Amino acid sequence: MRRGHLTLIISYATWTATTLVMPSSFAQTAAPASPETATGTVAANPPQTERLMPLAVVINNTAGGQWVLLERSGQIYAPEEAFVEWRLNRHTGVAAVEYRGQKWLPLSAVPGYEAKFNYAEQSVELTFSPKAFEATHLTEQASIRPQLTPADPAMFVNYDLSYTGSAYRGATGDRQLGALTELGLSSNAGVLTSSFVGQNLTGSSQAQPPAWRRLETTFTRDFLDSDTTLKLGDSATRRGTWGRPVYFGGVQAGSNFGLMPGFISQPIPLIAGTSAAPSTVELYVNDVLRQTSTVPTGPFVLDNFPLLTSSGDARMVVRDALGRETIIDQPFFTHPNLLEKGLTDWSMEAGAARNSLGTANFSYGQRFVSGMARHGFSKNLTLETQGELGQDTRDAGLGVDYALPFQALGQMALSASHDQTAGSGTDWTLGLQRSSLRHTYSAAIEEASVGYRQIGLGPGTLPYKRQISGNYIYTPSETSGSLAAAVARIASYATGTMTTYSGNYTTHVGRGGALTYSFARVTGGTRGFTLGVSLLLPIDPQTNFTSSVTHRDGGQTDGYISASKNLGNDNGASWRALSGSRGGYAYGEGGLYYQTDHGLLTTDASASPLQQTVRLGAQGGIVVMGGHAFMTRRVQDSFALVEVPGYADVGVNFQNTTWAHTDKDGVALLPRLLPYQRNSVQLNPGELPINAELDSIEQVVVPAARSGVKVVFPVRSGRGALIHVTLENGEDAPAGAIVTLDGDKEEFYVARHGQVFVTGMHDRNALHMQLDDKSCTFEISLPPENPNEITRAGPATCKW
Q: In this structure, what DSSP letter does residue 39 have?
A: H
Nearby residues of 763 by Cβ (< 8 Å), 6 or more positions away: 781, 782
Percent of the chain with pLDDT over 70: 92
CA distance 557 to 579: 15
Quick check: 163 pLDDT over 70?
yes
Same domain assignment for residues 50 and 130: yes
Burial 58-89 (b: 16+ CB within 10 A, else e): bbbeeebeebbbbbeeebbbbbeebbebbbbb
Measured between alpha carbons, how far is 108 from 72 in angstroms, rounded to an integer?
12
Tell me, what's the pLDDT at 18? Answer: 35
Is the pLDDT at 262 greater than 90? The verdict is: no
**Which of 48-62, 192-206, 524-538, 660-674 is the least confident region?**
48-62
- pLDDT score for 149: 95
Asked whether residue 262 is assigned to any structural domain, the reply reads no
Is 473 contained in some domain? no
pLDDT tops 90 at residue 294? no
- The rounded Cα 584 to chain-centroid distance in angstroms is 50
Greater confidence (684 vs 460) lies with 684
* Contact predicate 284/345, CB 8 Å: no
**Overall average pLDDT of the 689-707 stretch:** 85
Query: What CATH number did the domain enclosing 764 receive?
Result: 2.60.40.2070
Give the model's confidence band at 495: pLDDT under 50 very low, under 70 low, under 90 confident, else very high: confident
In the listed set 284, 314, 333, which residue is the last one of a domain according to the structure? 333
Domain membership of residue 741 (yes or no) is yes
List all residues 6 or more positions away from 399 whose beta carbon is below 8 Å from its beta carbon: 240, 241, 242, 383, 384, 385, 386, 411, 412, 413, 414, 429
The predicted model gives 78-96 an average pLDDT of: 83
User: CA 392 to CA 693: how far, in whole Å?
Assistant: 70
Per-residue pLDDT reduced to its tens digit, 612-642? 999 999 999 999 999 999 999 999 999 999 9
Taking residues 58-74, report their average pLDDT.
87
| pLDDT, mean of residues 521-536 | 92
pTM of structure: 0.77
In the chain, pLDDT over 90 holds for what percent of residues? Answer: 47
Determine the pLDDT at residue 28: 35
The verdict on residue 588 lying in a domain is no
In this structure, the answer to whether residues 45 and 128 fall within a common structural domain is: yes
- Out of 56-65, 115-124, 217-226, 319-328, give the one with best mean pLDDT: 217-226
Mean pLDDT of the chain: 86
Secondary structure of residue 685 in the 3-state scheme? helix
Mean predicted confidence (pLDDT) in 198-216: 85
For residues 232 and 251, is the Cβ–Cβ distance under 8 A?
yes
Q: What is the dihedral of CA 105, 109, 111, 115, to 10 degrees?
A: 70
Name the residue among 82, 475, 136, 177 with its Cα closest to residue 304: 136
- For residues 139 and 237, the model is more confident at 237
Tell me if 5 is assigned to some domain.
no
Residue 80, domain CATH: 3.10.20.410
CA distance 330 to 314: 5
Q: What is the pLDDT of residue 9?
A: 33
Confidence of residue 270 (pLDDT cuts 50, 70, 90): confident
CA distance 723 to 751: 10
Range(s) of the domain holding residue 697: 637-716
Same domain as 683, residue 729? no
Report d(CA 192, CA 186) in Å as an integer: 6
- The residue among 140, 453, 150 whose CA lies nearest residue 269 is 140
Query: Which of the four pLDDT bands, split at 50, 70 and 90, describes residue 276?
Result: confident
Asked if residue 489 belongs to a domain, the reply is no
* pLDDT reading at 391 higher than 80: yes
Is residue 439 a contact partner of residue 468, using CB atoms and an 8 Å limit? no
How far is 21 from 645, CA to CA, in rounded Å?
A: 78
338 vs 690, higher pLDDT: 338
Note whether 446 and 454 are within 8 A (CB): no
Is 60 exceeded by the pLDDT of residue 706? yes
For the cut 80, the answer to whether the pLDDT of residue 322 exceeds it is no
* pLDDT (mean) for 718-723: 84
pLDDT score of 151 more than 90 = yes
Least confident segment among 269-273, 384-388, 429-433: 269-273
Which of 133, 97, 92, 101 has the alpha carbon at shortest distance from 5?
Answer: 101
Is residue 34 domain-shared with residue 112, that is, in the same domain?
Answer: yes
Residue 298: count other Cβ atoms within 10 Å of its Cβ.
Answer: 24
Q: Is residue 533 part of a domain?
A: no
Average pLDDT over residues 292-320: 76
Residue 310's pLDDT is: 67
> How high is the pLDDT of residue 438?
84
Q: Can you give the CATH number for the domain in which 300 is found?
A: 2.60.40.3110
The reply to whether 678 and 730 lie within a common domain is no
Same domain for 732 and 658? no
pLDDT at residue number 169 = 86
Q: Which of 47-56, 90-99, 325-334, 538-547 has the highest mean pLDDT?
A: 538-547
Last residue of a domain, one of 134, 166, 201: 134
* pLDDT for the residue 474: 93
* 325 and 275 fall within a common domain: yes
Closest C-alpha to 337, from 433, 470, 472, 440: 433
Specify whether 666 is located in the same domain as 767: no
Report the greatest alpha carbon distance in the chain: 137
pLDDT band at 447 (very low <50, low <70, confident <90, very high): very high
766 and 792 in a common domain: yes
- Which residues, other chains included, contact 286 with Cβ-Cβ below 8 Å and sequence gap of 6+? 312, 313, 437
Per-residue model confidence as pLDDT tens digits over 5-51: 333 333 333 333 333 344 433 333 333 333 333 333 333 444 447 88
| pLDDT in the model for residue 773 | 86
Could you give the CA distance from residue 45 to residue 318 in angstroms, rounded to a whole number? 52
- For the chain, the 3-state helix, strand and coil shares in percent, each to the nearest 5, are 5, 60, 40
> Which one of 317, 333, 349 terminates a domain?
333
Looking at the structure of the chain, the number of domains it has is 4
Residue 112 in this model has a pLDDT that exceeds 50? yes
Statement to judge: residues 130 and 26 lie in one domain: yes
Q: Where residue 643 sits, what CATH number does that domain have?
A: 2.60.40.2610
| Structure confidence by residue, pLDDT tens digits, 727-747 | 988 899 999 999 998 878 888
Task: Answer whether residue 128 is part of any domain.
Answer: yes
Same domain, yes or no: 776 and 749: yes
Note whether 63 and 122 are same-domain residues: yes
